[in-house]
Structure 1
């Protein structure tokens, strides 16, 4: 039975109890050793001990199994050279840098979960370990005990979690960017809508005013007008009606294109007669410009959408008329190259500024030198889209105050 006694100070007051333990017998020591051995052998963590030279003094089965060694082969071995000789990237790991040995030097406990241990077969696995110094009765460090566990599954889970988080962050960024783009597109659409409404009001007001004035003049002064005067007024009304009709057609075409409802309908078409008839119609709408057609072909058959082709050529010819001086020539040349029809429209108009050429086919874009001339900014955008529907190409060459040439290339057959 344990007995306690009190140490007495000089003042004869009790200060602290100390247990007087009898010295253990050999049998008791052996029993205690076996208990410790059973504990070491039963724990799931790897445990081994080192002396001050870093050599193994004891090792439990879990440690030996994890590194692929037999226990007898490990005893007395320098453990750093056995399982900690290299860093995770495979580079040499000097023993003096090993955190396990820090317990020898400073007498403190050291932990790590960023290292790997190496198996006998040369493979490695991530570990979490704790290195605790062993001290004798005088408090002197005589070795260290290392407990470790394989954290492969934990690292895999951490990697999976990190990858999942990165994927989620990427999706959030993508979603945020998509929402931002949608907001920008909505803002752009709102601005385009405002510009479109303003353009329609402005462009329709002028021809409507002209028609109203012509109608009023014919109503009030018809009896006083000569046949030529009446013809001029009626021609003006017709020009304005044709202009508004083209604008309405352009607006409807843009709507169909944006809604993906405009389908190309190719059919056999004789291009030479078609070009002559179209230019004759446009000549009636010209001021005093002279429109001509040339082609070395007497006949040229193609399968094109006549309505879309008419819109393509009419838009470009209308621009040539609008932006050319009176009595200047406008020329349409029709030719064939391999299996393609080539329409080339040239004028000697005011030309297009070089800085406007890259944006010529943008919706609502108008050149800097035509602000005082009426126009919607729709025509060339529609031309480009109709050419694309035919799998064709359009090219423009222009010099300021000299003229402009549009070249449209369309396949003769789909």
Structure 2
């Protein structure tokens, strides 16, 4: 950069040269004329200084404008690139440099096509040709490579102008649309989920029972057509309404009648089965039997409840009328023979068993029954085609479903007894070591190939506890260890002065860390054992049995290495 002193020296030299070539007036000046001339020179000098000041201010203003333009150009949120007719980069802002991950000094005069694949470069070449012909670069998308890593989708558009030399150049903008594309994908996924939801709604509308989905605030999020028809509402009238405030009859759980079910308390306790009165739009009251399943989020928190309901109004009234009739009949036939009384009692027991079976089958036993039915249909089809060898697989499925069916019955029976509080502790003194050995012997039929159980006991052997409940606790824990492991199972027991301690260790699948906090919740199953049959009630039942003893259960588990469950029961 030339400093101001050298610039002034050059100007003075040029001025002197010009003066020397200009003819001068050789006539002598008087003193007055000289004073007047000096006055004019001083005025001109002041004028020149004022003009110079204005020029300097104008220059500073132009420099400010240039800096502002540079800032606006470089720090704009969109990349800007100026290309000449050959597709070479004449100028580029810092945002575009950041998108391409390259320094500006290394990109000027390079072709923009160097940052894309051959096919993309060909598209750019055709678009630029059209732009220089038509004057506009219409918006289009390109996949552009970064100098250091990967690539990104960009939206490119621009206009064609002339520079100060009259040469054509394309001023284009470049915007990273990665998030836009992701938004498109999410929108497509949302649409697919919406379609899937509509399909599920269509299937549920065909169901013969009421299906109802409420969120954690008890607001209705979904109800099938059976429910709308039964309660007399349009679906839009029910969605978003609070289930308890809108439909549940006010007397449910009322303090004036302790036999009525406290609905909110049952929901909070995740009651699997309950009955209540429901108020229809026309004022009619229906008695409904419900089965509730708690829905858990990824973090294990409750996000809603799925309820399946059946109208039992007529059946309940019939049962009440039948009970009244039976009571009156018993008064009239007291003098009849004992054989007739026994026959009536047998009939009543059969009716009770039938009622209980229908209740369970309508809720928890549909899945294994469905598998059995589908397998039978496939076996018949294979037999009709003479493909008998293909039936074995489905026969095995039928056997497995029957076993699953029995396990569900056992689990629900235990849960029912615990819920009703009808289990009583009957303590007796027995020897613990042979007691546990007998349980292990009973479990040998469930051992897989290469699987065995090792048992050790320390301390005293005599114990004063309810052996039936203790047996159920050990059976549940040991069956879980056998089910989720293929190797050795270690069982240890010890009796100290004030407590009994039993440890069951396996080298099986282990429990995912994110599932461990919900392990003792009813119906909860870890995600890595969803393919293995089970009701999700075993550990919940064990915990509730231990609560009867005043004991507790702890566990340690590492995914893929196994689990250790330890129970401690006070015996003081």
Structure-1-length-normalised TM-score: 0.45
Q: Which has the higher contact order (CA 8 A, sep 6+)?
A: 1
Structure-2-length-normalised TM-score: 0.33
